[in-house]
Amino acid sequence: MNKHDSERIAGMLESLGMFQVDDIDESDVIIFMTCCVRESADTRLYGHVSSLKNIPLRDGSPLTKRCIAIGGCIGQRDGDKLVEKMDHIDVVFGTQNISSLPVLLERSITKHTYSAEILQSSKGFPTDLPSKRENDWAAWLPITIGCDNFCTYCIVPYVRGREKSRSIEDIVDETKSYVDTGVREITLLGQNVNSYGRDIYGKPAFADILDKVALTGIERLRFATSHPKDLSDDVIERFATISSLMPALHLPVQAGSDRVLEMMNRRYTSAHYLELVSKLRSACPDIALSTDVIVGFPGETEQDFMDTYRLIEQVGYNQVFTFIYSPREGTPAAKMEQTSSREEIQDRFDRLVDLVQKKAFEQNQKERGNIVEVLIEGSSKRDPQVLSGKSPKNQTVHAKIPSGMNIADLCGRIIDVRVDEPKTWYLFGECVSSPR
Ligand code: SAH
Ligand code: SF4
């Protein structure tokens, strides 16, 4: 969501005559889009902003001071407190008022003052901002903002506000405009896409959205994130019936212990989750599943952890994002008693990471010899002669760039790759078709 917000900001500022630079020393304005889901991201912001305190203005800058703006979740949560801690910040804006940024920047730059605006709720869904996408072939498309779920560990509902859905017409129109300009893949975005529509249509309408978006002719369709309590049979069935819906689903489980799931207010049991997995695999036998897991939730025992461990072992995910529980002030879990020591939690985390790696390697071995259709994103960071892209299952795939071709022409095209060497986090192979 932050990436998407950043694209809207870039689009909006470009339409006002500003442009993006790669080198921070060349900038006049620096905008931080922040995240406070876990403490590590939170503390990093302070480090980054503090390090900018005394850097000189660029040669030829029209400003008298480099302008530093903070947006996103930390802006929303901390507001003016940020400036009390770091007085070289010029602008603070919240998650609900991205469209006010140009006015805030102008006020700060022309009047040499600090300016801020933090709204507690938005008037509607912010659809009217232009966006400057990272690339021409893939787009994020938010269908809801905010979250109503209040998982006890999570700060998102407090900093992103209540869930608001965008109208079906808007979503379909935006998708069509992408298809018309050659975009090949879109990812529908929301904290919980499965509850899409409840606020405006009185019932979840996510399966309808999938049908209508698929009819636009988009080649690759994805969505994130799904909450297991709201993943309906209708949506599961779409993995069988919509050919452009990619066979990959991120379905955060968080924990495998029912006791912990209840304390987290997740409102499903591990048995329900496993039933969803089995329904998904019936609808789409080869579906790649990924998930999020929190280790060390307050009150988690070794036995609870082992329930999680066994669930991860049983499901056989392609990818698992593992997090150590991080208390977030203002959430109910932050007041719960932590019964495990740091060492115990770290030990559980390390065991889980080992398992995740082992299972990801096992999953990838199944791809050996398969031909996968790769949407090319660029060259590999390690080797400019190697292309990198994503398979339908969202696996990272690397392959030698075919002779006579260059990466600039290949980006955004799809090529068949035969998988010769499956690794833990990527597949390596050889291109066996022309790009299309
Ligand atoms: N809306 C999505 C994602 C929310 S944040 C969902 O419900 O799945 C992304 C992930 O961060 C969560 O899935 C969770 O695993 C993790 N997370 C959120 N709050 C956390 C906290 N306080 N400590 C550790 N991990 C957290
Ligand atoms: Fe946070 Fe839960 Fe909402 Fe996801 S569903 S954003 S974890 S409160």
pLDDT surpasses 80 at 292: yes
Task: Give the Å distance between the CA of 325 and the centre of ligand 1.
Answer: 9
pLDDT surpasses 70 at 239: yes
Cβ of 375 less than 6 Å from ligand 1 = no
User: 388 or 55: whose pLDDT is higher?
Assistant: 388
What is the value of pTM for the model shown?
A: 0.93
Nearest to 186 by CA among 143, 146, 127: 143
Cβ of 364 less than 6 Å from ligand 1 = no
User: 11 or 131: whose pLDDT is higher?
Assistant: 11
Distance of CA 21 to the CA centre of its chain: 24
* pLDDT band with cut points at 50, 70 and 90 for residue 124: low
CA–CA separation, 328 and 319 (whole Å): 25
Task: Give the Å distance between the CA of 158 and the centre of ligand 1.
Answer: 13
pLDDT surpasses 70 at 123: no
Distance of CA 321 to the CA centre of its chain: 12
CB 193 within 8 A of CB 224: yes
Indicate which residue's Cα is closest to atom 5 of ligand 1: 37
pLDDT tens per residue across span 320-337: 999 999 999 999 999 999
- Give the ligand with the smallest distance to the CA of 153: 1
| pLDDT given for residue 126 in this prediction | 64
* pLDDT band with cut points at 50, 70 and 90 for residue 182: very high
- Give the ligand with the smallest distance to the CA of 250: 1
Residue 8 DSSP SS3: helix
pLDDT surpasses 90 at 77: yes
CA–CA separation, 244 and 115 (whole Å): 46
Mutate to test the pocket of ligand 1, among 40, 151, 153, 154 (most ligand atoms within 8 A of CB): 154
| pLDDT given for residue 314 in this prediction | 97
| pLDDT given for residue 128 in this prediction | 62
- Give the ligand with the smallest distance to the CA of 328: 1
CA–CA separation, 89 and 108 (whole Å): 10
**Ligand 1 atom closest to the CA of 333, numbered from 1:** 22
| pLDDT given for residue 116 in this prediction | 82
φ, ψ of residue 71 to 5 degrees: the values are -125, -165
* pLDDT band with cut points at 50, 70 and 90 for residue 127: low
Mutate to test the pocket of ligand 2, among 191, 264, 265, 331 (most ligand atoms within 8 A of CB): 191
CA–CA separation, 292 and 290 (whole Å): 7
Q: Rounded mean pLDDT of 22-44?
A: 92
What is the residue whose two structure tokens read 């559980």?
348
Mutate to test the pocket of ligand 2, among 95, 189, 227 (most ligand atoms within 8 A of CB): 227
State the sign of the Cα–Cα–Cα–Cα dihedral 210, 211, 213, 215: positive
CB 252 within 8 A of CB 221: no
What residues flank ligand 2, with Cβ below 6 Å?
147, 149-151, 154, 156-157, 191-192, 227
Mean of all residue pLDDT scores within the chain? 94
